[in-house]
């Protein structure tokens, strides 16, 4: 009826006048006895018919499966953490990123869920943040929040499904992240899981998992690594570049495990190049204490120290940067220094770590590049610190190397050593240095020292102070509020107060607020 | 009365003002703050020599600040509200400082004056003349529009799809000239249909034209209606409704109640922001629509916080279905109350109620209901509001998906009473009643 009526209206009364019989009898009745033109007649009928239609058009019906009501298993977070969340939401992306980690850990440890009304805000906030935060966010959403997440347009960014599903069905990034977490907490299970699917993985994915393993190696990885080193990644005359890279990764990891066959084999070989005599066999390199690492130069390879052996055994690329090494064989030595724990080298040198490091950084292994003298193996030692988390080596190196070459080492030294070093060298003015803080928080004296230093130098260098503010937010000691308030009061009389308040005071206070809130809830 | 952050955000003039206010909302920022039973106040240091003095009327939300900001409310007022919202317990009851009591007393005096003021409206006869003169113009405009419509149906509505935006604008402008902006609105609506969207525009245009034709007939036959209908027709034709006159009208319908602001919707048209606030009375179960307008140069006349509770009188504009109202007096910002609202059981009942309302006033739209046992669901990438009998109402196009998600996070799969407005056959969910609490979406 409506369609026929509409068609007449579309083509116009001039071509086809309205036939009353098309209309329901009640409308026909209402329209009769009127003296109207065909156009008025149609318009009048349209008005009646529109309301007639609207009154009769019931809402659509569709049997939708009634799902069981979702019950929450976690208690809702009380007012205090929700107030802190409001503050974090408005703190700016970088601070939010840091603070959210602690805030989420707090809720997780207390087995709280975020208030339902804020769940969407949390998801929207973390969707642009690190995967780690997104995973944590999922944990505090509660069951209803997870139900919401399953409808969120960006749900694929969150691991809103069972862990076993992630391994089977997740994206490569999700699987790597999942596996890294599992490997850190339960390496045995992680290796077993990896073994189950290893053969079906693409070579590039395998390399990805090896990189994850390399960043957090466990002794329990040894058997698996040995197996793939001896089989899948054993040298083949025709091998893909990625296969060679995998061998290099596997070998580098095995060289970090003293119990591994490769380590033992290599250690035995390397020992032969560490001489105590005053004369070197080939290069003539002699240490001041008569102990020297003497490797053959590239023009005189031996049966171990040669390109083929290095490629087959370690996957070392014979391409090297001539800017950093004066000899290909020094590049190989550097590759060993990078991964083999310092204990091996120190053991060879009777005078211990310091003597060895001094020797390696000394004139015997220096070369000129870019009009500067540099130690060829310095980068290898720095890398060794990060791979083997060697705090003793880190602490020795920071005092040996110029400050600008040390930055990455600082996060491996002890908190005490870090604070002493920063104070001695007056490095608190560098936010890059402060961000290397190895521990979770600064000591109270160091916190107050940094605050005071920043306050006193603020007028000269407030261009980068918002970075300092972030560091304060993260690391300031929980009891440094008094000093912060004192300095803030003092700052109110200076011209740059607004800047100080925005860049230093506010973020520092926000960090303290969160720390105090967490501490008070734990009391 | 306490303020939630969400509520404060809704009244901030923009995001940066809210953000700036947020940064000043720590109690250490304030040199002093306090409250009485009707107002909160605070002094905050600014860049000048003297601190800014900020005050907020709690009973009839209003702000005053001594800062030079042109934003309203300014960041200091936002900050003070946030501070009060989060640390109400730290606001001690004190004697109002002179600068506070002076402002509050002057507000009170103005309100009393407005309530008691004799009508300053023109003499009845003069007013009648004005109405008659304008009606003549409107009726002439309506006659012109009727001709246009007749031409259209004679040639066929397919012609519409060949018309340019300029054609519709021209007709709308004629209606504005005829002092009938209400009719111009219908023409603009017709011009804004998506004529590339298959047959959808054909149904929509026919419905629009039908209702417009009916309105034209009502305008033509204006004299035959009673005064309430005449008022309604004038409103539909675009006569503006004067809040001042309404407040001064001793015969205006006034309802005294505790009101829950169940929802707020802002729409921008030609640089004018219209804020629709839907309220429901606790005792009366009366539904009211309070409009607020702002432009780039002026902020909203009054501040209404969605989800808040108001104790006071609403004056309703006369109409065959009085719904639009203004807040006449606000004696107190009411505390949360357990509402005993009349729920509509399902979409069928809502539909029947809506049909009854349309029978009474064919042009009425935006029908507010509290639908029992309802929830939002997503089906085939479309959001619906479902009742417990499996009837579904699609949501209004452009409805914020975050609000849909929020409802899921609050309710999960369970159904709860929800406040909803039905507009043009689509649902606009406003909020959820759960555990004696109302949460705005």
Structure tokens at A117: 């009304």
Question: Is B366 in contact with B289 (CB distance < 8 Å)?
Answer: yes
Distance CA B66, CA B50 (A): 10
Q: Which long-range contacts (CB under 8 A, 24 or more apart) does A415-422 make?
A: A415/A439, A415/A442, A415/A443, A417/A391, A419/A443, A419/A446, A422/A446
Q: Evaluate whether residue A298 is within a structural domain.
A: yes
CB atoms near residue B263 (< 10 Å): 23
Q: Is residue B115 scored above 70 in pLDDT?
A: no
**Closest B-chain CA to A113:** B409
What pLDDT score does A509 carry?
A: 92
- Tens digits of residue pLDDT in B44-77: 988 777 889 999 988 888 889 988 887 788 899 9
B23 vs A contacts (CB less than 8 Å)? 90, 502, 506
State mean pLDDT over B296-315.
Answer: 87
What's residue A487's pLDDT? Answer: 93
Residue B230's pLDDT is 93
Considering the domain boundaries, does residue A14 fall inside one?
yes
Selection from A317, A302, A222, A309 nearest residue A263 by Cα? A222
B45: region left, alpha or beta (phi > 0 left; psi from -120 to 50 alpha):
beta
Structure tokens at B429: 């969910």
Which residues from chain B sit within 8 angstroms of residue A498, using beta carbons? 47
Measure the CA–CA gap between B15 and B394, rounded to whole angstroms. 30
Domain boundary among A354, A387, A407: A407
Nearest to B393 among A12, A59, A123 (CB): A59
The model's pLDDT over B259-278, given as tens digits with 9 standing for 90+, comes to 999 999 998 877 889 999 99
* Residue A268 within a domain: no
Within 8 A of B21 by CB-CB distance, chain A residues are: none
Place of tokens 């009327």: B57
User: Which is nearest to B180 in space by CA: B138, B233, B132, B229?
Assistant: B138
Looking at CA atoms only, how far is residue A18 from chain B in angstroms? 11
According to DSSP, the residues that pair with B33 across neighbouring strands are B42
User: How far from chain centre, in Å, is Cα B414?
Assistant: 29
For residue A249, the tally of other CB atoms under 10 A from its CB is 21
Of A407, A435, A453, the residue at which a domain comes to its end is A407
Q: How far apart are CA B246 and CA A421, in angstroms?
A: 76
Rounded Cα–Cα distance for residues A372 and B287 (Å): 83
Phi-psi region of B418 (alpha: psi -120 to 50; beta: other; left: phi over 0): beta
**Nearest-by-Cβ selection for B158 from A11, A67, A492:** A11
Total of domains in chain A: 5
- Whether residue B150 and residue A40 make contact (CB cut-off 8 A), yes or no, is yes
**CB nearest A59 (choices: B23, B86, B391):** B391
CB B184 within 8 A of CB B239: no
Among B6, B159, B409, select the one facing A148 at the smallest CB separation. B409
Q: What is the largest CA-CA distance in chain A?
A: 129
Residue B206 is nearest to which of A9, A51, A152, comparing CB atoms?
A: A9
Q: Does A137 lie in the same domain as A29?
A: no
- The alpha carbon of residue B323 is apart from the nearest alpha carbon of chain A, in Å, by 21
Whether A393 contacts A353, CB under 8 Å: yes
Substitution target from A27, A43, A481 for chain B, most B beta carbons within 10 A: A43
pLDDT of amino acid A281: 45
Q: Which residues pair with B41 in a beta bridge?
A: B34, B55
Nearest to B351 by CA among A53, A429, A308, A34: A53
3-state secondary structure of B346: coil
Contact B273, B293 (CB under 8 A): yes
Task: For residue A201, tell me if it sits in a domain.
Answer: yes
Residues A303 and A393 in one domain: yes
From A347, A375, A407, the end of a domain falls on: A407
B112 pLDDT above the threshold of 60: yes
The SS3 call for residue A70 is coil
The verdict on A313 and A384 lying in the same domain is: yes
At B123, give phi and psi (nearest 5°): -55, 145
**Nearest CB to B157: which of A10, A64, A488?**
A10
Residue A71 corresponds to which tokens in the numbers above?
Answer: 């019950």
Whether A234 and A313 have beta carbons less than 8 Å apart is answered as no
In a domain, A264, yes or no: no
- What span, in angstroms and rounded, lies between the C-alpha atoms of A469 and A300? 56
Residues in chain B closer than 8 A to A153 (CB atoms)? 401
**B211–A50 C-beta distance less than 8 A:** yes
Chain A contact set for B5 (CB, 8 A) = 86
| Token code pair at residue A519 | 């501490």
- B408:A148 CB<8 A: yes
From first to last of the 523 residues of chain A, give the pLDDT tens digit.
778 888 888 988 888 888 878 788 888 888 776 778 888 888 988 998 898 888 888 888 887 777 888 999 999 999 889 989 988 887 777 788 889 999 999 999 999 999 999 999 999 999 888 878 888 999 999 999 999 999 999 887 886 545 667 788 788 888 898 899 889 888 999 999 999 999 999 999 999 999 999 999 999 999 999 999 999 999 998 889 999 999 999 999 999 999 999 999 999 999 999 876 554 444 545 444 567 888 888 888 899 999 999 999 999 987 888 888 888 889 999 999 999 999 898 887 777 788 888 889 988 898 887 778 889 999 999 999 999 999 999 999 998 888 888 888 999 999 999 999 999 988 888 888 999 999 989 999 999 999 998 888 887 766 677 788 889 999 999 999 999 999 999 888 888 888 888 888 989 999 999 999 898 887 7
A114, closest residue in chain B (CA to CA): B409
Residues of chain B positioned with their CB less than 8 A from the CB of A151: 378, 404-405, 408
Tokens of A442: 């600064």
Provide, rounded to the nearest whole percent, the portion of chain B with pLDDT above 90: 52
Query: From the CA atom positions of chain B, what is the Rg in Å?
Result: 24
Q: Are residues A26 and A112 in the same domain?
A: no
Q: Are residues A389 and A375 in the same domain?
A: yes
Please tell me the predicted confidence (pLDDT) of residue A68.
87
The pLDDT of residue A286: 44
Give Cβ neighbours of residue A92 (< 8 Å, ≥ 6 apart). none
Shared-domain flag, residues A95 and A152: yes
Picking from B431, B63, B141, B29, the residue whose alpha carbon sits closest to that of residue B261 is: B431
Asked whether residue A345 falls in the same domain as residue A386, the answer is: yes
Looking at the fold, whether A354 and A312 belong to one and the same domain comes out as yes
Residue A447 belongs to some domain of the structure: yes
The answer to whether position A263 is within a domain reads no
Select from B5, B153, B212 the residue whose CB has the most chain A CBs within 10 Å, as the one to mutate to test that interface: B153
> What one-character DSSP code corresponds to residue A18?
P
Domain enclosing residue A201, as ranges: 164-254
| Cross-chain CB nearest to B158 (options A10, A60, A143) | A10
Minimal CA separation from A118 to chain B, in Å: 8
- Alpha carbons B8 and B3: distance in angstroms, whole number: 7
In a domain, A395, yes or no: yes
DSSP A218-229: -GGGHHHHHHHH
Å from B158 to nearest chain A CA?
Answer: 5
- A48 with A127, same domain: the answer is no
Q: Are residues A449 and A344 in the same domain?
A: no
Q: Which of A324-333, B18-27, B212-221, B323-332 has the highest mean pLDDT?
A: B212-221
Rounded Cα gap, residues B261 and B306, in angstroms: 5
Residue A457 distance to chain B (closest CA, Å): 22
| Minimal C-alpha gap between A17 and chain B (Å) | 9
Closest among A330, A389, A323 to A360, alpha carbons compared: A330
Distance, in Å, from the CA atom of B231 to the CA atom of B225, rounded to the nearest integer, reads: 10
Instruction: Assess whether A303 and A326 both reside in one domain.
Output: yes
Token pair for A411:
């996060």
């Amino acid at each position: 009826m409506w369609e026929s009526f509409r068609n007449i209206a579309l083509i116009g009364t001039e071509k086809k006048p309205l036939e009353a019989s098309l209309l329901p009898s009640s409308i026909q009745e209402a329209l009769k006895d009127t003296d109207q033109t065909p156009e008025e007649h149609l318009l009048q009928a349209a008005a009646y018919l529109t309301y007639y239609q609207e009154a009769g058009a019931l809402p659509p019906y569709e049997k939708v499966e009634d799902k069981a009501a979702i019950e929450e298993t976690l208690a809702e977070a009380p007012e205090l953490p929700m107030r802190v969340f409001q503050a974090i939401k408005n703190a700016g992306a970088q601070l939010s990123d840091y603070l959210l980690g602690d805030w989420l850990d707090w809720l997780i440890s207390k087995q709280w869920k975020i208030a339902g009304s804020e769940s969407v805000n949390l998801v929207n906030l973390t969707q642009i943040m690190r995967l780690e935060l997104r995973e944590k966010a999922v944990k505090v959403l509660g069951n209803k929040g997870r139900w919401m997440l399953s409808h969120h347009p960006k749900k694929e960014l969150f691991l809103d499904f069972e862990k076993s599903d992630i391994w089977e069905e997740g994206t490569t990034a999700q699987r790597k992240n999942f596996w890294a977490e599992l490997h850190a907490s339960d390496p045995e299970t992680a290796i077993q899981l990896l073994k189950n699917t290893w053969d079906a993985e693409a070579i590039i994915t395998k390399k990805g998992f090896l990189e994850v393993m390399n960043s957090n190696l466990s002794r329990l990885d040894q058997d698996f690594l040995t197996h793939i080193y001896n089989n899948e990644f054993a040298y083949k005359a025709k091998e893909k570049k990625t296969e060679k890279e995998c061998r290099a990764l596997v070998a580098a990891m095995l060289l970090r495990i003293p119990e591994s066959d490769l380590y033992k084999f290599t250690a035995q070989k390397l020992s032969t190049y560490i001489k105590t005599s005053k004369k070197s066999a080939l290069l003539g390199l002699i240490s001041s204490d008569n102990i020297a690492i003497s490797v053959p130069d590239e023009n005189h390879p031996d049966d171990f120290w040669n390109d083929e052996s290095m490629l087959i055994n370690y996957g070392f690329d014979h391409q090297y940067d001539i800017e950093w090494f004066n000899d290909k064989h020094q590049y190989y030595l550097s590759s060993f220094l990078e991964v083999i724990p310092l204990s091996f080298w120190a053991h060879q040198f009777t005078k211990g770590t310091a003597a060895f490091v001094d020797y390696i950084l000394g004139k015997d292994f220096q070369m000129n590049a870019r009009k500067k003298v540099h130690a060829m193996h310095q980068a290898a030692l720095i890398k060794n610190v990060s791979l083997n988390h060697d705090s003793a080596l880190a602490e020795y190196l920071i005092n040996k190397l110029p400050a600008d070459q040390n930055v990455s080492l600082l996060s491996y030294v002890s908190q005490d050593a870090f604070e002493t070093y920063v104070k001695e060298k007056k490095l608190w003015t560098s936010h890059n240095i402060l961000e290397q803080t190895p521990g979770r928080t600064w000591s109270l004296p160091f916190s107050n020292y940094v605050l005071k230093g920043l306050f006193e130098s603020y007028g000269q260098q407030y261009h980068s102070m918002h970075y300092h503010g972030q560091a304060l937010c993260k690391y300031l000691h929980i009891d440094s509020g008094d000093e912060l308030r004192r300095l803030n009061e003092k700052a109110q009389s200076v011209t740059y107060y607004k800047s100080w308040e925005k860049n230093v005071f506010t973020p520092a206070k926000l960090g303290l607020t969160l720390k105090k809130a967490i501490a008070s809830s734990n009391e | 009365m306490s303020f939630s952050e969400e509520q404060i955000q809704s009244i901030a003039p923009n995001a940066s003002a809210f953000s700036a206010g947020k940064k000043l909302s720590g109690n250490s920022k304030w040199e002093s703050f306090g409250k009485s039973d009707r107002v909160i106040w605070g002094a905050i240091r600014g860049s000048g020599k003297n601190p800014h003095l900020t005050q907020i009327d709690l009973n009839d939300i209003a702000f005053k600040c001594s800062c030079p900001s042109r934003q309203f409310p300014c960041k200091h007022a936002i900050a003070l509200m946030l501070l009060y919202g989060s640390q109400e317990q730290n606001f001690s009851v004190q004697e109002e400082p002179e600068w506070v009591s002076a402002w509050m007393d002057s507000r009170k005096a103005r309100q009393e004056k407005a309530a008691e003021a004799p009508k300053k409206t023109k003499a009845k006869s003069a007013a009648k003349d004005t109405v008659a003169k304008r009606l003549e113009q409107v009726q002439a405009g309506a006659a012109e529009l009727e001709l246009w419509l007749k031409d259209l149906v004679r040639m066929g509505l397919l012609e519409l799809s060949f018309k340019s935006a300029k054609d519709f604008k021209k007709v709308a402008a004629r209606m504005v000239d005829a002092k009938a902006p209400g009719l111009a609105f219908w023409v603009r609506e017709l011009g804004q249909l998506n004529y590339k969207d298959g047959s959808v525009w054909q149904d929509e245009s026919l419905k629009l034209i039908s209702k417009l034709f009916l309105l034209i007939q009502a305008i033509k036959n204006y004299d035959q209606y009673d005064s309430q209908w005449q008022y309604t027709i004038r409103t539909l034709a675009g006569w503006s409704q004067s809040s001042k006159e309404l407040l001064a009208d001793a015969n205006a319908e006034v309802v005294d109640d505790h009101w829950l602001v169940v929802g707020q919707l802002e729409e921008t048209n030609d640089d004018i922001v219209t804020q629709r606030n839907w309220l429901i009375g606790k005792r009366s179960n009366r539904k009211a629509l309070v409009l607020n307008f702002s432009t780039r140069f002026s902020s909203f006349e009054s501040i209404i916080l969605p989800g808040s509770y108001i104790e006071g009188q609403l004056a309703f504009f006369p109409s065959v279905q009085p719904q639009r109202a203004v807040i006449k007096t606000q004696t107190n910002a009411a505390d949360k109350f357990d509402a005993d609202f009349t729920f509509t059981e399902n979409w069928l009942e809502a539909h029947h109620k809506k049909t009854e309302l349309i029978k009474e006033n064919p042009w009425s739209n935006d029908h507010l209901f509290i639908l029992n046992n309802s929830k939002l669901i997503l089906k085939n990438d479309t959001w619906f509001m479902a009742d417990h009998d499996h009837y579904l109402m699609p949501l209004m196009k452009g409805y914020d998906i975050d609000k849909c998600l929020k409802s899921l996070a609050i309710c999960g799969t369970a159904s709860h009473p929800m406040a909803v407005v039905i507009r043009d056959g689509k649902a606009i969910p406003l909020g959820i009643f759960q555990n004696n609490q109302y949460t705005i979406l």
